[in-house]
Amino acid sequence: MTDIKIAAVIPARMASTRHPGKPLIEIQGLPMIEHVRRRALLCGGFSEVVVATCDTEILEAVETFGGRVIMTSKEHIMASDRVAEAARNLDCTHVINVQGDEILVVPDDLNNMVESIRAHPDGQYWNAIAPIEKSEELADRAIVKCVISTSGKILYCARDFTHLNLNNTFEPVRKILGILGYRIESLLAFSKLVRTHLETSQSIDQSRIIEHEIPLQAVAFEKGYPGINDLKEERMVREILKTDAKQKEVLRQSLL
């Protein structure tokens, strides 16, 4: 594969169960979805960055800042299905799905995934991971965790890992982040794969890939910052943007 074009697609919708309207909550003068879009642009490794949504409110907000939006069906259950519909309108070989609530994603980390894809463009699926930082995270069902093989493949995903007797390094468990990469053909094929038991029982997209025995490559991010799924996480994000040195610098660049 010679001409590699990697597009970033940011899926977002207003009808969140736990935090309705969250893409447009204002943080530091910008709606959340615009923070995510600007951070993807700061990566510099994408052929284009687009928002995929079914809501005109999001369309209008993003276009106000000069961003590109692709309107998609309201019927999608999973974000990956929305990304796949949008990707059919793009000229690219690969897609990185940057979830619209990943407001603290670091551009350098996104570049890690870009470089992983460029190093092995014939792969099918990639997923960002980050270290477990404290034992309480093993029981937190809001955090999806995974087991990593010695070769860097994701073997299993779940929300509760308290049944494992892990040492203080938490090996070989990592946090799964809402940043997924796909070869375009694999993205379009994903929605055609039969939904699997583990996927539906725990609402974890990645389990469909694993249960169909397709390699899922882990891409290490330095830190697993929270996304915004509820009011508690929104308060956490606002505090991190005020106190974390790296996040303060990325925010500064985003607001230029």
Low-confidence residues of the chain: pLDDT under 50: none
- Amino acid 107 reads P
CA distance 22 to 20: 6
Would you report the helix, strand and coil content of the chain in percent, each value rounded to 5? 35, 25, 40
pLDDT given at position 237: 96
Confidence (pLDDT) at 2: 65
Task: Answer yes or no: pTM beyond 0.85.
Answer: yes
Structure tokens at 138: 């093993």
